[in-house]
A = this chain, B = another copy of it.
Amino acid sequence: MANSATNLRLKLPIACIILEVIIIILFGALVQYDDETDAKLWHKEIANGSSNYDNDFYYRYPSFQDVHVMIFIGFGFLMTFLQRYGFSSVGFNFLIAAFALQWATLMQGFVHGMHGGKIHVGIESMINADFCTGSVLISFGAVLGKTSPVQLLVMSVIEVTLFAVNEFIVLSVLGAKDAGGSMTIHTFGAYFGLMVARVLYRPNLDKSKHKNCSVYHSDLFAMIGTIYLWMFWPSFNSAVTAHGDDQHRTAMNTYYSLAACTLATYGLSAVVAHDGKLDMVHIQNAALAGGVAVGTAGEMMLTPFGSMIVGFLAGTISVLGYIDITDTNTQKLKIQDTCGVHNLHGMPGVLGAIVGAVTAALATKDVYGDGMADVFPDIHSGDVEASFQGVRQAISLAVTLGIALLGGLITGFILKLPIYGAPPDTICFEDGIYWELPGEEGSHEELTTVRTPDEAEKLNA
């Protein structure tokens, strides 16, 4: 019965509470304040001449909060475009993000090196945990409407772990740069999610087709998500770059890339959409591709000119993706990509990785000066040539794609087990299956019917 299958009374509490208890135990055993959040350690630094104003809180926290808004409002509302899936879009986004940021703190702490057996936490770990969460939410976009919250939590457990492994290989082993995560966040999240969607392919999904579309107000709610992502993307890409010119330049490059991307998106949307009108799907998604595509090169000396070219290209391929590849994916590749994450995060992420590799390969001491030490420390120290840094970047893209696809494959099969309360094909894209819904009929009548004369009189009084 649908009844017992999708009822969450036991499944969700067990998942949430077991996971949270494990997290709390691990935090109790392993997690400590870092030097900047611990009262005693920080005041030792003060005693050694530091000022409270040097605390990294003041140089990272505003960026963190912008990233936080992107994760919870941006991703959450971007997915409310479905007419009848707003509770789940915002609500499951909220749940898995709140889980993933805790789990990511642990996983990233493990692989990025412990300090005397302990994981140290502070503003940087908070930003990095939000970044990892972003990757999970991208994958969520690919399976939106077709998964139960328990499936999503299980997916998060695995994806966060693999994210941390991949990030470690790319940044620490291979020595690639990827401050805004074109590879580690966007490419990884997109291809992981697409592979999960492939394994979870539902041949009879067209039974829910009438719900897999937007209505007027759901598209407006989605625009809240889009605009917040667009505005704060400069903060996202610059949140963990080196202080000084690096953060400043990264934010500005991203700002220009997004602006150019937006013009390309509007121009192309009118070309490809029905009847020479604009299509909200493009505006909501493709206009953001410029942020994805400078996620790697944004901190480099890409120049505003270069940033705009990248943004323009990203918007172009993203809009084109929405006409062509979405259909191809669904029919030939059997990937039902609800939000079109391939067009927003997948292809622009790969573009961003390539742009990053090329820009790195072209880095010269003449252009970067002593700033080379922040952007490419290994080139600065003479350990590698710029061209080899470009090769490292390219290898990192390949590694990321490999881990994402393989990880998504395995995860997909795990999520296929019939124990998580997934919705049947006939009731996908529907909040009512997991949420108590307010009574629409009565209330709707309230909003629209002509009132009784008595009531009207009172109201108009």
A2 adjacent to B308 (CB under 8 Å): no
Tell which of B255, B264, B278, B434 touches A436, judged by Cβ atoms closer than 8 Å. Answer: B278
- Residues of A249-302 at the interface with B, using a CB-CB cut-off of 8 Å, are 249, 251-252, 255-256, 258-260, 262-264, 266-268, 270-271, 273-280, 283, 287, 301
Note all chain B residues with C-beta closer than 8 A to A370.
Answer: 39-40, 43-44, 46-47
Minimum C-beta distance from A372 to chain B (A): 7
A331 CB-CB contact with B under 8 Å: no
In the bound complex, residues from chain B placing their C-beta under 8 Å from that of A16 are 263-264, 266-267
A11, A305, A367 pick with most chain B CB within 10 angstroms: A305
CA gap between A266 and B11 in the complex, in Å: 11
User: Inside 8 A of A262's CB, which chain B residues have their CB?
Assistant: 94-95, 98-99
Residues A444 and B58 in contact, CB atoms below 8 Å apart = no
Interface string of A58-101 (1 = CB under 8 A from B): 11011001101100110011001001101100110011001101
A254 to B5, alpha carbons, bound, how many Å?
Answer: 36
Partner of A24, one of B11, B213, B273, B312: B312
With a cutoff of 8 Å between Cβ atoms, the chain B residues found around residue A83 in the complex are: 438, 443, 446-447
Is A461 in contact with B7, judged by CB distance below 8 angstroms?
A: yes
Residues of A in contact, count (CB < 8 Å): 166
Segment among A48-56, A196-204, A337-345, A397-405 that sits at the interface with chain B: A48-56
Q: Mark A11-52, 1 if CB is under 8 A from B, else 0.
A: 111111101100110011001110011111111101100001
B39 contacts A247, C-beta separation under 8 Å: no
Q: With a CB–CB cut-off of 8 A, which chain B residues contact A44?
A: 369-370
Q: Which of A189-225 contact B (CB under 8 A)?
A: 210-211, 213-221, 223-224
A438 neighbours in B (Cβ, 8 Å) = 83, 213-216, 218-219, 280
Question: Contact between A440 and B95 (Cβ–Cβ < 8 Å)?
Answer: no
Query: Which stretch in A134-142, A165-173, A425-433 binds the other chain?
Result: A425-433
**29 A–B contact pairs at CB < 8 A?**
A3-B461, A9-B276, A13-B270, A15-B267, A16-B264, A20-B264, A20-B308, A23-B308, A24-B305, A24-B309, A27-B308, A31-B304, A38-B249, A39-B245, A39-B372, A39-B375, A41-B245, A41-B369, A42-B371, A53-B54, A57-B248, A61-B248, A83-B446, A90-B220, A91-B283, A101-B255, A121-B252, A123-B251, A213-B438
The 3 closest A-B pairs by CB, nearest first: A39-B371, A40-B369, A9-B276
